[in-house]
Chains A and B, each alone.
Chain A
Amino acid sequence: MHGALALISRHGYLIIFAMVFAESVGFPVPAALALVAGGAGVASHALKFTIVAPLALAAMLLGDTLLYILGRYTGWSLLGFLCRIAANPEACILRSAESFYKRGKITLVIAKFIPGINTMAAPLAGSMRMRWQQFLRLDAAGAALYILTYGAAGFLFRDFLAAITRGFQAAGRAAEEVVVVAAVGYMAYRVWLYQKNKVYRVVPRIQVEELARKLASEQEDKDRIVIVDVRSHGYYDQRSERIKGSVRLEPNNLEQELKLLPKDKDIYLYCS
């Protein structure tokens, strides 16, 4: 934290721009601290408000716009990727999409203050095809609120900046500990999952070339084949593709779905 403050005092505008931009595109960079230091710099006349504020706003809008475009062009893939770690990816995607649809506008305004959500809001707005002007208006409001809040804190409490920095340091240490505990917990969960699913590794496997040969073989063999798509989440994009002739099986609704599968045929399962 001290390092960041020292950098800002030396390189001012460039560092504020870089840190705010980096945070807005998802890097774990303390942009809030840069803004607090920027506010203190304005108060001590080392930096100019008329440059700091527009610069920070431009950096944030630029980063958010890039993520918005990413969401727009990747469709639901990004949300699908992020929901892969959820216990029920299908429910995660549906819930996230519905929640953002209901509260997306206010979420965009306050998202900057919520770690995790701040990086997700812009690409979700893109995925959900929010109009560009509307996105820009709401995002600019959120960015301005964020920049002014932290900038004002630095401006008003410049004399207490050292104390604030110590507070940030303490919070940073606590956050580091939380991250370490969470990482260890996640690894333990993955090991437990691996052990639990060991039994399923005995399921016979087939290479794609072998399956392709079977499909190209005599009609009798071909008719015994059922290819089943068991990807953990459904099809959300018009451009989704699957293996030709395969059928969809929803893994989160297995009991019902199994009633539709024939027991007298060979079932070939695949995911992404």
Chain B
Amino acid sequence: MLREKGFNAFVIVGGLAAWRKAGHPLEGVPQSDLVKLPTFS
């Protein structure tokens, strides 16, 4: 769909799991991107 819309898109083989397994850098998700789900606490 991205390609159809003119984006030069690629898919990373193995996704996050492969990236993590290869030991490449990760980062924590910014607070602003967190989706707050209801909790009882």
Contacts and interface: CB of A to CB of B under 8 A. Distances in A.
Contacts of B41: 129-131
Contact of A254 (B1, B6, B17): B1
Contacts, number: 132
Contacts of A204: 9-11
A82 interface: no
Given A254-B1, A269-B9, A94 B37 contact: yes
A38 interface: no
Interface in B4-23: 5-20, 22
Contacts of B16: 229, 231, 241-243, 270-272
Contact of A269 (B5, B12, B39): B12
B39 A128 contact: yes
A45 interface: no
B24 A212 contact: yes
Nearest to B38: A101
Nearest to A102: B38
Nearest to A131: B40
Nearest to A98: B38
18 contacts: A125-B40, A128-B39, A128-B40, A203-B11, A206-B11, A206-B13, A208-B14, A227-B12, A241-B16, A243-B16, A243-B24, A243-B26, A265-B8, A267-B7, A267-B8, A269-B11, A271-B15, A271-B16
Question: Which 4 A-B pairs give the minimum distances between C-beta atoms?
Answer: A101-B38, A129-B41, A244-B25, A270-B12
